[in-house]
């Protein structure tokens, strides 16, 4: 796979502001709304506005939401649509999303549905939003207790990546994005994985170069399979077990971040990869060792039945069958590997769970 293919519409640092300026001069927007949460309002808006004087203040409005996953709800979405109306946004308005995946997912969906779709641009501010949510066209909200249940595919006019935004991101949030980057390396580019494990995950380690490389891997996948008919499923490596762990620890009152759960999920799924995808056992052990030094299972006994019910409830599994995306090699993933539910428990036990 050519991991450096097509990053059309994604710009870094000064080029992001140049691209935004050229969009503004082409479109003469009637109204500009900036959507952020309290954290990105404080940390990202000032540098953003300082670099985008061409927006002006005359038709600029700022909408600030509460930080957190609960914001990705139908109630908050309705408030955002209401605000669009109250601010007299019309079809020639633009929404600028500055935030993590919550803001870019919700803002993208709000813009794509308001008046049958207005322009929006994303300036992702968390590492996860930069390397994962920034490409792939998915927008949406959580609904009825399910993540991302309501949404649609819609592309921003452009994505601006400002690595400096990461300087104020909490270390656990940085690690969450780092886990998804490791996953990109493992499924498609072993050299990227090795480069990442050789770097400490502090904000300065994430420069435009390494972020671009990680996004390119995801872009190369989604450009071939936007609607997840096949290949895009490889991005789910680590996620079947990871999602179940995320829910389990959440329900147990010991929440871990999404990316951290994916890190743990990859450790377990590497074991499955040996038996179900012919991954070399020594290679699997070596990668597991690298991952275990960064992601450790919380000290909590996992109850088998409850956990397996969470795994089977995962949306990627159809007709009671577990469908896994696994590794056939370091840097090569395969998808649609069917595994019986009971068969996965020994791989959890191996991790002392």
Ligand X SMILES: NC(=O)c1ccc[n+]([C@@H]2O[C@H](COP(=O)([O-])OP(=O)(O)OC[C@H]3O[C@@H](n4cnc5c(N)ncnc54)[C@H](O)[C@@H]3O)[C@@H](O)[C@H]2O)c1
Q: Which is nearer to ligand X, 33 or 129 (CB)?
A: 129
For ligand X, which stretch binds (CB under 6 A), given 26-34, 64-72, 83-91, 318-326?
Answer: 64-72
For ligand X, the closer CB: 128 or 211? 128
Site for ligand X contains 173 (CB under 6 A): yes
Backbone angles phi, psi at 237, to 5 degrees: -55, 130
CA angle at residue 152 from 104 to 317, to 5 degrees? Answer: 105
Taking CB under 6 A as the rule, which mask of x and - marks residues 120-159 in contact with ligand X? Answer: -----xx-xx--xx--x-x--------xx-----------
Q: Counting contacts by CB under 6 A, is residue 100 touching ligand X?
A: yes
Per-residue binding string, ligand X, 269-308, x by CB under 6 A, is: ----------------------------------------
Q: Is 117 in contact with 84 (CB distance < 8 Å)?
A: no
**Mask of contacts with ligand X, 26-55, x by CB under 6 A?**
-----------x-xx--xx-----------
Q: Helical H runs in the chain?
A: 13-27, 38-43, 45-51, 74-86, 101-113, 127-128, 171-188, 190-197, 208-224, 239-251, 258-276, 281-292, 304-312, 345-349
Give me the residues paired with residue 62 across strands: 34
| Paired tokens of 133 | 């949510």
Specify the residue, 59 or 154, whose C-beta has the smaller distance to ligand X. 154
Q: Measured from the CB atom, is 139 or 273 closer to ligand X?
A: 139
Of residues 37 and 347, the one with the C-beta less far from ligand X: 37
Q: Which of 77, 136, 135 is nearest to 102 (CA)?
A: 77
> For residues 187 and 234, is the Cβ–Cβ distance under 8 A?
yes
- Contacts with ligand X: how many residues (CB under 6 A)? 30
Sole binder of ligand X in the list 105, 119, 189, 246 (CB under 6 A): 105
Please say which residue, 166 or 344, places its beta carbon nearer to ligand X.
Answer: 166
Q: What angle do CA 320, 235, 219 make, to 5 degrees?
A: 145
Stretch that binds ligand X, among 88-96, 166-174, 242-250, 304-312 (CB under 6 A): 166-174
**CB atoms near residue 324 (< 10 Å):** 25
Q: In a 3-state reduction of DSSP, which class is residue 123?
A: strand
Give me the least distance between CB of 338 and ligand X, in Å please: 25
Mode of pairing for the β-strands spanning 10-12 and 159-161: parallel
Interacting residues of 5 by C-beta distance below 8 A, sequence separation 6+: 216, 219, 220, 223
Judged by the rule CB under 6 A, the positions of this chain that interact with ligand X are 37, 39-40, 43-44, 67-69, 72, 99-103, 105, 125-126, 128-129, 132-133, 136, 138, 147-148, 165, 168-169, 173, 176
């Amino acid at each position: 796979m050519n991991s450096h293919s097509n990053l059309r519409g994604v710009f870094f640092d000064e080029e992001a502001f140049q691209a935004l300026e050229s969009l503004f001069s082409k479109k003469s927007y009637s109204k500009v709304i900036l959507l952020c949460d309290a954290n990105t309002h404080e940390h990202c808006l000032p540098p953003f506005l300082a670099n985008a004087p061409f927006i002006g203040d005359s038709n600029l409005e700022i909408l600030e939401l509460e930080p957190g996953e609960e914001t990705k709800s139908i109630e908050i979405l309705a408030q955002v649509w209401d605000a669009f109306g109250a601010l007299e946004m019309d079809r020639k308005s633009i929404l600028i999303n500055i935030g993590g995946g919550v803001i870019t997912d919700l803002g993208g969906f709000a813009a794509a549905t308001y008046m049958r779709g207005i322009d929006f641009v994303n300036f992702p501010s968390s590492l996860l939003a930069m390397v994962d949510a920034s490409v792939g066209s998915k927008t949406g909200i959580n609904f009825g207790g399910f993540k991302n249940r309501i949404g649609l595919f819609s592309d921003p006019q452009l994505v601006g990546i400002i690595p400096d935004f990461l300087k104020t991101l909490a270390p656990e949030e940085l690690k969450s994005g780092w886990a998804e980057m490791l996953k990109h390396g493992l499924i498609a580019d072993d050299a990227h994985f090795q480069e990442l494990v050789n770097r400490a995950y502090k904000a300065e380690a994430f420069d435009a170069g390494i972020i671009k490389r990680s996004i390119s891997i995801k872009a190369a996948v989604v450009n071939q399979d936007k609607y997840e008919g096949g290949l895009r499923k490889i991005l789910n490596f680590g996620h079947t077990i990871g999602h179940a762990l995320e829910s389990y620890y959440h329900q147990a009152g010991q929440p871990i971040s999404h990316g951290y759960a994916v890190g743990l999920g990859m450790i377990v799924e590497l074991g499955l990869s040996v038996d179900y995808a012919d991954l070399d056992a020594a290679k699997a052990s070596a990668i597991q060792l690298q991952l275990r030094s960064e992601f450790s299972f919380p000290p909590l006994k996992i109850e088998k039945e409850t956990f397996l019910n969470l795994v089977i409830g995962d949306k990627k599994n159809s007709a009671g069958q577990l469908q896994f995306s696994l590794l056939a090699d370091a840097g090569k993933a395969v998808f649609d590997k069917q595994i019986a539910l009971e068969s996965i428990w020994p791989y959890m036990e191996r991790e002392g769970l």
